[in-house]
Amino acid sequence: MSWILDTPSARAAFEIASEYADKTLLNHSVRSYAFAAAYAAAHGLSYDEELLYVSSLLHDLGLTAPFDNHTLPFEEAGGHVARVLTAGLGWPAARRARAEEVIVLHMRDDVSATGDVESHLLQVGTSADVSGLRVAEFGPAFRTALVAEYPRLGFGPAFLALFEDQAVRKPDCAAAAFVAGGAAARITSNPLDAA
């Protein structure tokens, strides 16, 4: 089973994510998309597949050294990366703005599928992969195949360290709220790591 979308924009997003994110973060991005797409299928949600895929692949680039902004939260920095990349791909302004918005809003808990399906799906996908939220809704065969193809490679501790760093440097950001809200316990108890 493959969770790679094959369009020119999707290939460009994967290429950029591969160049700037380490394998641990890249695999997380692909797994986040896979969880989001599987959730959408299970719940009959229609969405823009390419927009979700590109946003998923780029959503954490604001955590990487080249794109980590000293004042902006990582999701806003990542949104700007997406906007610039998609401009180079010829996306119209409104679609570029949507890619940025999906990335920014994935850190919010209050985005409904009826209000913004792509942002909701990215939030569901990243929450499943980071914290194990709703992971039981995805069948064991799906989870096993996904983690076999895109291994976690110590993702939990590495991701927690990135968020803790964001929290220290940007205490008013969503990552800081996530850390303060017990991120370490949720990340370390993620069932995806209990194999």
Is residue 190 within 8 A of residue 158, CB to CB? The reply is: no
User: What is the C-alpha separation between 137 and 47, in angstroms, rounded?
Assistant: 20
Cβ burial 118-136 (10 Å sphere, 16+ → b, else e): bbbbbbbbbbbbbbbbeee
pTM recorded for the entire structure: 0.96
pLDDT tens per residue across span 58-112: 999 999 999 999 999 999 999 999 999 999 999 999 999 999 999 999 998 889 9
Residues 6+ apart with CB under 8 A from 93: none
pLDDT tens per residue across span 125-168: 999 999 999 999 999 999 999 999 999 999 999 999 999 999 99
pLDDT tens per residue across span 49-72: 999 999 999 999 999 999 999 999
